[in-house]
C-alpha cells in the first residue's frame, strides 16, 4: 500500500532475518513497523520464533 515490502532472508533457530525493500528501506518508521507489526505477526504465526531482525 505504501510502496514497501519485506523479503524473507533466513531463519536460524529462533531468529528470522528479513530485508525491508522499496519505500520501507531507510524509512525512519521502519524500526517501529518491524517491531510493532512484522515481529508480532511472525511470532504469532511461526512457532518457536522469538526474534525478528532486519538486514
Residue indicated by cell numbers 528470522? 16
35 closest CA partner among 47, 25, 43: 43
Average pLDDT over residues 25-38: 78
Res 35: pLDDT: 78
- The predicted model scores a pTM of 0.79
Residue indicated by cell numbers 517501529? 32
* pLDDT per position as a tens digit, 17-30: 998 887 777 777 77
- Domain count of the fold of the chain: 1
Residue 14, domain extent: 4-54
CATH code, 45 = 3.30.300.130
Q: E strands along 1-55, which residues?
A: 4-12, 15-22, 51-54
Q: State yes or no: pLDDT of 54 exceeds 90.
A: no
Amino acid at each position: 500500500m505504501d510502496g514497501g515490502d519485506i523479503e524473507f532472508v533466513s531463519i536460524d533457530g529462533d531468529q528470522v532475518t528479513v530485508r525491508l525493500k522499496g519505500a520501507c528501506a531507510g524509512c525512519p518508521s521502519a524500526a517501529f513497523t518491524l517491531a510493532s507489526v512484522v515481529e508480532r505477526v511472525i511470532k504469532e504465526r511461526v512457532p518457536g520464533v522469538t526474534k525478528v531482525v532486519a538486514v
